[in-house]
Amino acid sequence: MDKDKSTSGKSSLAKINHAIGEVINWFEVGSLIVCVTALSTLLIVNFIARNFFTSIYFAEEISEFLVIFTTFVGLSYGVRKGRHVRMGAFLEMMSPAVEKVFIIIISLISCGVMFYMTNASYEYLMNSINRGHLTPALRLPFWLYYVIIPVGFFMAGVQFLRTIVKNLTEKDTWMSPEQQSEYEDEEIFTGE
């Protein structure tokens, strides 16, 4: 009976973890597609305008914003897909049980760092709001450029937290919420 409660508790936790992943995935992928498309279009149009007419005066400011936005949303996306820096060679030498423990510890430390950076970047954002500086071309508040930074760090922290939950609720070892710890042997082309 206790085993059934434990199993249903884990499956509920796994379902919540999956639902959070779906919401974050929708935001990350959607905003990355929009930002990269907008950045590419803006840079191409500005190149054409600069060579044949006159440069778009606000292109640099919008490009800077899009690069910052893409970087910090991409941070969370990279963690979710397991594309962050990791110690693969070190982990490969361990048994699966020890590897799982190390991944949980690494994810816990990384999660703490991301939440610390969320707090630090939030304080920086509040400082920027209090200063009231405006961008030179569009005269927008500078803090609009930085609002995604604490959000990106927070989402990355949530992804590391999801990795911990995934490893605690699943039998297999997971490098990230969506990347199982499996290293495929590379096929060596012999030319035969």
For residue 177, being part of any structural domain is answered with no
Mean pLDDT of 2-20: 64
Strands (E), 43-115: none
- Average pLDDT over all residues of the chain: 81
Query: Total structural domains in the chain?
Result: 1
Token pair in block for residue 146: 């930085």
- What are the pLDDT digits (tens) for 114-148? 999 999 999 999 998 999 888 887 888 888 888 99
Is 149 inside a domain boundary? Answer: yes
Residue 37 lies in a domain: yes
How many other C-beta atoms lie within 10 A of the C-beta of residue 155?
A: 22
The pTM of the full predicted model, rounded to 2 decimals, is 0.77
Q: Does 78 map to a domain? A: yes
Alpha-carbon span 43 to 192, nearest angstrom: 46
Rounded CA-CA distance 138/122 in Å is: 24
Tell whether 18 is covered by a domain: yes
Any domain includes 135: yes
113 pLDDT band, cuts 50/70/90, is very high
Residue 179 within any structural domain of the chain: no
Whether residue 110 is contained in a domain is answered as: yes
Q: Residue 40 belongs to what domain range?
A: 2-169
